[in-house]
Amino acid sequence: MNTGSDERAEVAVASDETQTGGARNEQGLGSKAPEFIKARRVLHLSWQVGIFIIGLAVVVLGIIMLPLPGPGWVVIFGGMAIWATEFVWAQLVLRWTKRKVTEAAQRALDPKVRRRNIILTSIGLVIVAAIVGVYLYKFGFEMPWNIKDQ
């Protein structure tokens, strides 16, 4: 029931700020917006919408770059980092991703894994070289779309 008093809203805003500040100190989670923006509900909501749209544009650009030339995954993670400045879910996803990348990097440094990766890469390169050799033997330096039915 709304009695027209702003006391309830003020208490709600104060408790939100206390929870956000406490969570940020404990785990580094929460909004990184300046205090004057967080103090005004409409301005903070506008800020969040703007951050979401900018992050979405960067993530979409990264997704477009995946099949095209460009650092697609780096741009996608950049968009996630933009979202992580404002949204806890993005901060948690980014932490999980960093942890998994660090674990994978540590596994890649293992001598057995490195040896296996070198062997698999060598086998893959030999297969690709064989396919290219067969193609060049059969068709020469003709582009695939210019080859007439033979």
Mean pLDDT by 10 residues, the chain (150 residues): 42 42 55 77 86 93 90 90 89 90 86 90 97 90 74
For residue 84 the two structure tokens come to: 């992580």
Is the overall model pTM greater than 0.75, yes or no? Answer: no
